[in-house]
Structure formats: structure tokens, C-alpha cells
A and B are shown apart, each in its own frame.
Chain A
């Protein structure tokens, strides 16, 4: 359990909140690059950390992320015309460039210089690995660009999607480090999903539903190790990485791609679940890409024209009770991503953590909260840079590995928990 004030502290991420200020020190994924596919394409509404913004790509290919509303009469610039290096408001023609600077107010004489006095809040927007990243903090503390391995490998080795989630970011992120649910909620998918099946490690998962967990701090967050029995008295370890504040990388399976998530607050009751799949040393196959686009693995199918999952709260996630009874799925919901999202959304927009009854196997979640609270205090009281901002903290890998019983996973897997170019991931 958390006290109410701690729960509020971690879940509220608006501009003037402590957690919101800390989130703003990180580069965050804002859009898929494909959402702004060409110069002068239509602008896109973006809501992040409880701020409404509009993103656009100007005539010269520069990206902009600015306040959604025109400084004149408060009209949404989503209706604006994207033309000649700026967004021109459809109401009275005020025009803004990618920095939010007003560059034309047609009703005022150009010589008056009035336009120079108008500037909307703007944030940098940078393409890296098919994702548009933004930094919403003070300009003087802007960190180096992100170095996550999934955005630094060649384009043919990586695939990223995002989906709208109707819950606070924290309960979604906690689901990503809650390794103990996999043997239950996802048990029907390990041997059937094309992006999971066939791995030897799956058998360890399915034959030992009560893993033993070890949690240790990493430079950027946590290593969460789940240990199961393997042959010859050895242990099969699945090691998940969590990097503050909301990046996770799940342990791989066989030669499948490596995957994980970012959970980015839209506002306090909604978040973006970003899902990436990549392989450090090979291109993704056509079959893998087709499966990812078809919503397999950790990806979803969408309501056409949106990033809202096709299975959602309005249709009870298309629950299939017959499939649940027959054991095809444990919860009745199809697909790993929506199995997670359906349950996380069922907790309510912001789960009341004063009423939860955690158990010992929840220590990954407990320690993540502890690290967040500790970092938040150091950041707020002493301006200490939070973990996860340093690009070195981002060069991580998850791992699945069989080790002798007397070798700690932090020691036996030390080298494979670091991203190294052209080195295959440790996977079973």
C-alpha cells in the first residue's frame, strides 16, 4: 500500500506537480514519425503531461510542438493551415513557426513588429529511430538525445507502436515490472503467439508457475530477476530492466525480437503505452512485421483511424468467456497487450493504493515506487538529476539466461545486461 499523499505525488504529472516537473527532465516519445509523414502535412493534436499541444512538420521538414491554442482568440491550431514554414490559424490568419514564434498577424501592419511580441510555448521535437521525441523541461537542463538501443539500431531491425490507455501511467508501468503475472494472465499465449512461441524458455515458464524473484538496483532503475528451475540444478533467469521513470524491457524469448514499453502520461487518467520490438543483430522478418502490425505480441489492433485499441472498455475488451473456459486465454481477453490493459484499466483511472494488499512477490513494484519517491525528493529538495536521464543508463538490455545455482544473476548476467552493438541478446 501507499499512503494517499504518496499516491498523489507519484500519479499527478501536470505542469506544476513534483512528478510532472521530474518527468519534464526526460526526453519522452511524443509521436510516431509516421504521424507527420511529409512536409506541410496536417498538424496532429498531442496531449502530454496534461498540456494540450499541436505537432507539425513545416515546409523545410522541421518539426514543431507548440501550444495548441492561438494566442489571439484561443482557437485550436489543429484547424490551422500548414503552409510556407508555419501554421496559419484558420480564424484570422495568425501564423506561427516551429518555435511557437508568431511570424504574421495579417490585421496589423508588418512594420509595427506586433507579431514579434506573440510567442506560444514550444518544445523541441526530434526524430530518432522512427519516433518523435520531445523534451518539456527547462532549456538549460536539456539532456543529450535518447540512446535507447531500439532507436539506434538500423530501421529494418526495429518496430514501434503506441496505443491509448485509459488509466494513469503508474499502474500501467507497474504492470510492466510485475513479472509474477506472466505465468497466469499470459499463459495461453506463450505457445501460440507468433512473437513468443517456440522458445525453450517458455517451457520453464509454464512448468514453474511460482518463480522466485530477486530485485536489485541498477544505475538507472531496477533489475527484476525471476528465477525458475532448469535442468541439472541450474536456474533459468528472466531479467527485466526498468529505467526511470517509465521504460521497461522484458526478457527475450529464443530468437524472437526483444520488446518493452514506455508509459507516458497524457494526463492523470490516461497514458500512451509505447511498445517496441527490435533485434540487436538482425532485421525483423516480413512475418514478424506482419504479426506486429496485426496486433500480435505486445501490439494491438486499432479502431480505424485512431490509436485506441479495437478491444476497449466500451466493448468489454471483446471478452470471450468460452475461450476463457476452454483455457485458450486465462482472462478471456485476446492478445497480450489487451490482457494487460484491460485489467489495468479495470483498476480505475487512478488506482487507490491505500486499499491494496501487496505481498512479498510485489517487491519489484514496491522498490520502483521507493526509487521514484527517493529520486523525487532528491530532485525537489536538492535538484539532483534523476536516474535514467544519463544516456549510459539507457544502454541496457533484458536477458533470459541459465546460470549455475550459486551465481547471482547480477554477476552471471552482468555483461549481457548492457547494450553492445552487433552483439546478440542473451536469450533462451
Chain B
């Protein structure tokens, strides 16, 4: 039986509900990434910037409450560039940990950066990330969010 024949017998009803994903930029490198994501349109994802350990802004510059954002998220993606400027990671990570929200750490602009600077950021993200991704190409985040239905 080939694929087309076999697929004919598969239930085609939707098998999942929409998920809520919050993508939070932790530094300037990451801010550029989420601004690009905002221009390409990500209706399922809430794109935010961390301005202080527990202060968040959306792309329109409006203040957002960290606890509320974490409460409504199924997944929080922490985005940061090399250099160890992801100072908000512990506060966001703790909020996710309390609410048992899945976290992914994403290091952008890693290819050209010195390994030491990537390590600094990894050290900040690792305690709060159940998955860490170091991508050579920042466009990976687009594919990742699509794959995760965000």
C-alpha cells in the first residue's frame, strides 16, 4: 500500500488546539531578531523585550506583566546574543519554573562571536532552559516557531 492509499484511511480531524508561545528578547542582538519576526507576522507568538529583570515591553512599546505573560504561555523562548547580557533570564526562568511552563533558550548571532562570549550567555540561559539551541543562522528561529506551531 503506498502513502497515498495509506493516508486515505487516516483521521483528518484537527488533533491539537492552538498554542501560546512567548518569545522574549533579552538583549540588543535578540531585539533585532524579534523585530524581524514582528515584521514577518507571527500571530500565535507574543513578541516581547526584557527591559529589566522583571520588566517587559511588547513591540509597540507597551509594558507587559511578566507573570501574566507566563501564565498564558505554553512555551517561553528566551532569546539572547553572545556576551552574557541575558540578565533577565533568572527572573523569567523562575516565573516559568513556578508555573511549569516549558522554556527554550536560543542563542543568536553565535557563529561569528568568540566562544567565550557564547559561553557567557549559555551560562545564563542553561539553568532556566529545558532546551538550548545555538544556531549558526538566525533564520532558524522562524523554522523553529513554525515547527512548534507558534
Contacts and interface: CB of A to CB of B under 8 A. Distances in A.
Contacts of A367: 133, 135, 140, 144
Interface string B5-34: 011001000011000000000000000000
Contacts of B109: none
B129 A366 contact: no
Interface stretch (B44-52, B54-62, B87-95, B117-125): B117-125
B148 A408 contact: no
B146 to A, nearest CB: 7
Contacts of A352: 7, 10
A348 B7 contact: yes
Interface string A246-275: 000000000000000000000011000000
A369 interface: yes
A93 interface: no
Interface in A406-421: 406-408, 410-411
B102 interface: yes
A401 interface: no
Contacts of B104: 360, 363
Contacts of A350: 3
B75 interface: yes
B71 interface: no
A209 interface: no
A363 B137 contact: no
Nearest to A362: B147
B35 to A, nearest CB: 21
Nearest to A268: B3
Contacts of A410: 115, 134
Contacts of B123: 406
Given A269-B3, A352-B7, A360-B102, A369 B143 contact: yes
Nearest to B121: A408
A1 B149 contact: yes
Nearest to B125: A214
A216 B131 CA distance: 11
A1 B6 contact: no
Given A357-B149, A360-B148, A213 B122 contact: no
B130 A349 contact: no
Interface string A198-229: 00000000000000111111000000000000
Contacts of A360: 75, 102-104, 130-131, 148
B130 A212 contact: yes
Contact of A2 (B2, B131, B140, B147): B147
B148 A358 contact: yes
Interface string B97-133: 0000011100000000001001100110010011111
A108 to B, nearest CB: 41
A121 to B, nearest CB: 25
A408 B3 contact: no
Nearest to B75: A360
Contact of B16 (A215, A357, A366, A407): A357
A217 B140 CA distance: 11
A407 B120 CA distance: 10
A48 B78 CA distance: 43
A354 to B, nearest CB: 10
A370 interface: yes
A168 to B, nearest CB: 8
Of the candidates A268, A361, A408, the one having the most CB atoms from chain B within 10 angstroms of its own CB is A408
B64 to A, nearest CB: 22
Contact of B115 (A358, A361, A370, A411): A411
A355 interface: yes
Nearest to A405: B126
Contacts of B102: 359-360
A371 to B, nearest CB: 9
A311 to B, nearest CB: 20
B149 A213 contact: no
Interface string A1-34: 1110000000000000000000000000000000
B53 interface: no
A72 interface: no
Contacts of B6: 348-349
A212 B2 contact: no
Given A214-B133, A217-B135, A366-B143, 11 more contacts: A212-B132, A215-B132, A269-B3, A348-B6, A357-B16, A360-B131, A363-B133, A370-B137, A370-B140, A408-B122, A410-B115
Interface of B: 1-3, 6-7, 10, 15-16, 75, 102-104, 115, 118-119, 122-123, 126, 129-137, 140, 143-144, 146-149
**Ordered nearest first, which 7 A-B pairs have the shortest CB separation?**
A216-B134, A214-B132, A360-B131, A217-B136, A366-B147, A370-B143, A350-B3
24 contacts: A1-B147, A2-B147, A212-B130, A213-B130, A213-B132, A214-B126, A214-B133, A215-B131, A216-B133, A217-B136, A268-B3, A269-B3, A348-B6, A349-B6, A352-B7, A359-B75, A359-B102, A360-B130, A363-B104, A363-B131, A363-B144, A366-B144, A408-B118, A410-B115
